[in-house]
Structure 1
Amino acid sequence: MRELSKTAQRWAAQRRTAEAVLARPVTERGFGPRHPGDAILIDADGTCHGSLYLGAFDRQLAEEAVSLAPGHTARVCAVAVHDDAVREAGLTRGGQAEILLQPLPAVPPRWWELLAAGADAALITWLDEPRLHAVSTVVTPGPGPDEADLPPQATARARELLARHRAGREVQATDAGLVLIETCPAVPRLVIVGGGELAELLVAQAGLLGWQAEVTATARDAAELLAERPAAACLIMLSHEPEVDVPTLRTALTSGIPYVGALGSRHTQERRAAGLVEAGLDDEHLDRIHGPIGLDIGARTPAETAMAICAEVLTALGH
């Protein structure tokens, strides 16, 4: 859903949100692998923006959005695709889902602001039993002022998923209706210290995953990048220069970022460890360094190594 934030904010600035609708699944079965945050925005003339089931139901959802009754803040409609229609839609397999249509003004503007900034955010939406009204509240990793009326278990679950860097949707049933939990963790940001072919390939691999990546050669610049969004920053140390790698690793290990990896021989790793101990770090800090860097997938080429590093980052973010 993060890719819709700029569109939603632009429509708000242009005062085009009154008749716009946000559509996303509440329940679903089948369809095969897909992005857990898929959603679409439907504007007043029925044009769909974004991606949901490769557009298989865009026309139906646009018609349903137009028929959303005045005063209702929700409408849930069923969609399904099976047999030959699956191939025609380009989907992996058939499936069925219930789609929540919610007027865009009913979605807190702060949701779009946080998504546009690449920050951690969750949206908790209470849907009444008749499925005609929905109330959405934004939840972030820290306590917020608008959470008093939210089910505690939903808030706790949202924060748990954000902490595990898990994007997706979950539904909790209550006596009064359904609670939809949607999580958009902060976009991972690789801080790559040191240049060369591997750095370039890491940037390319990060782009394929929708991550951000920055390459720098100095400890000062690396420290500034790591401090900008520490919850999403991941250090990839490629430099073998003592005046760069030791201070940067120390900054990363003491700032609590989720992943610290360092490329280098056993001798280089031992030299770094000795420098970090001299700088005041202990074994608990040193144990957080992934070195040798990357998952053991038998990587031999620089491209395979870049893939192994990103796979290890992904594994670390999910724990």
Structure 2
Amino acid sequence: MLELAADLLERTRRQTPFVVATVTGVDGSAPRQPGSSLVVDADGAVLGNVSGGCVDAAVHEACQEMLTGDSRPRALRFGYTDADAIGVGLTCGGTIELLLRHHDPAAEPWLQPALTDAARDQAVAVATIVRGLHARLGRTIVVRPGHPVTGSLGDELLDQVAKAHATDLLHAGQTRTVEVGVADSYCQEPMTLLVESSAPAPRLLVFGAIDHAAALARVGAFLGYRVTVCDARATFATPERFPDAVVVVDWPHRYLRSQADSLDGRTVVCVLTHDPRFDLPLLTAALRMPVAYVGAMGSHRTHEERLARLRDAGLSDRELDRLHSPIGLDLGARTPQETALSIAAEIVAHRHGGSGAPLSTGVPIHHSLPPSGALAHSR
């Protein structure tokens, strides 16, 4: 739902009821992941989708029925060959589970503040019971940093547990399901929470004001990163050369250290400076920070020489193992634009656990997200 916050916010202001169908589980190959939503409002408008189109029509019909009939939360399941699934299936062969919820802005005071924060790219997380006790299905709490938790799952201890999970996933910028078990004394039977998080866009820090940096800034902005290009040379580091980024004139390692409090486990650092005066102090600092990805441009020989200098500077093998160098995947890239695509491809593969191999070789098309915080330390 949060992915459609800007459009839904307008509906809350008009006090227009709507039904949200949200993906809560995926098995096998499926085009959308948990948190993806399709919305139908009381005026008949449709937003978003929950598949590549193969089941959206059936979900739309179910949403319309909820708007005019029984408004209690309802779970749906769509599969290709599952006998228990609705008669419409996913042509990709996977299975998706959804939760339909009827929202009345006039009766849900938490809704507008949550959507407002998400629409403004501010941190907010919504935790909803999507499987478990039927009486609690669809119950929600909202976590907004700096504000009291709103809503309730029906039990104080369960609210505390949900808040902890929501806060953790919000910091990681992830949307996913969380299993809460009986053995933990959190509930009377196993329960699944869907935590939808909306966090400020992750940062991409590009060091070195060269043509490759301009191309990478463009691709990074397209992928949803907040891009900064930093170089100590004011002649080259100009806003005109890098319209897709914030441009900073400073020594790279000094700027990176000044940003330490704003970096997290989603931050990407790309070192394109090609100059040991900049590279070594910058990489020494970056490889000791809890960021998601650190890559450096250069030949294989440059990489080996750089590793030797970094070892001399005191970096451990474990810290050096985090370095992606030479940066990028083997695409045969020649131009700055192709090189930027190669770098971006490696960043995406690293973020989601992809191999970088052609899909035609039979590697998985969809990958599960690693546990919270794992991205900052994986290689």
Quick check: TM above 0.5?
yes
TM superposition shift of 1:39:
0.8
Instruction: Say if 2:150 is the partner of 1:116.
Output: no
**Of 42, 45, 50, which aligns to 2:48?**
50
TM superposition shift of 1:124:
1.4
- Residue of structure 2 equivalent to 1:317: 375
Quote the Cα distance in structure 1 between the aligned partners of 2:57 and 2:179: 23
Quote the Cα distance in structure 2 between the aligned partners of 1:270 and 1:136: 50
Quote the Cα distance in structure 1 between the aligned partners of 2:216 and 2:294: 15
Distance 1:108 1:311, change over 3 A: same
TM superposition shift of 1:63:
1.1
- Residue of structure 2 equivalent to 1:213: 227
Contact kept in structure 2, 1:299 and 1:308, CA below 8 Å: no
Contact kept in structure 2, 1:24 and 1:99, CA below 8 Å: yes
1:119-148 superposed Cα distances (whole Å, 9 cap, x missing partner)? 5543212468445764322347x7974285
1:18-67 superposed Cα distances (whole Å, 9 cap, x missing partner)? 41233213455566242332112322212111221233334313313312
Quote the Cα distance in structure 2 between the aligned partners of 1:5 and 1:19: 14
Distance 1:266 1:170, change over 3 A: closer
Distance 1:253 1:132, change over 3 A: closer
Alignment of 1:219-238 (within 5 A): 219=250, 223=256, 226=259, 229-231=262-264, 232-238=266-272
Contact kept in structure 1, 2:21 and 2:59, CA below 8 Å: no
Distance 1:96 1:31, change over 3 A: same
Contact kept in structure 1, 2:22 and 2:37, CA below 8 Å: yes
SS at 2:126's partner residue?
strand
Alignment of 1:143-292 (within 5 A): 145-146=148-149, 149-159=157-167, 161-162=169-170, 166-170=174-178, 172=180, 174-175=187-188, 178-184=191-197, 186=199, 187-203=201-217, 205-206=219-220, 209-217=223-231, 218-219=249-250, 223=256, 226=259, 229-231=262-264, 232-241=266-275, 244-246=278-280, 248-249=282-283, 252=286, 256-264=290-298, 265-266=302-303, 269=306, 273=310, 277=313, 283=316, 287=320, 290-292=323-325
TM superposition shift of 1:204:
5.0
Quote the Cα distance in structure 1 between the aligned partners of 2:137 and 2:228: 43
SS at 2:118's partner residue?
helix
TM superposition shift of 1:312:
3.3
Q: Specify every segment of 5 or more residues in structure 2 that has no aligned partner in the other structure, as ranges.
A: 151-155, 182-186, 232-248, 334-338, 354-373
TM-score normalised by L of structure 2: 0.62
Contact kept in structure 2, 1:46 and 1:66, CA below 8 Å: no
% identical equivalent positions: 21
TM superposition shift of 1:193:
1.5
Contact kept in structure 1, 2:21 and 2:38, CA below 8 Å: yes
Quote the Cα distance in structure 2 between the aligned partners of 1:291 and 1:29: 32
Contact kept in structure 2, 1:202 and 1:306, CA below 8 Å: yes
Instruction: Please identify, of 161-170 and 300-309, the stretch whose mean Cα deviation from structure 2 is larger.
Output: 161-170
Quote the Cα distance in structure 2 between the aligned partners of 1:27 and 1:35: 8
- Residue of structure 2 equivalent to 1:24: 22
TM-score normalised by L of structure 1: 0.71
Quote the Cα distance in structure 1 between the aligned partners of 2:177 and 2:133: 19
TM superposition shift of 1:229:
3.9
1:66-105 superposed Cα distances (whole Å, 9 cap, x missing partner)? 1255xx6x4215354657xx9x998423646342213153
Q: CA RMSD in A?
A: 4.3
The aligned length equals 305
Contact kept in structure 2, 1:223 and 1:248, CA below 8 Å: yes
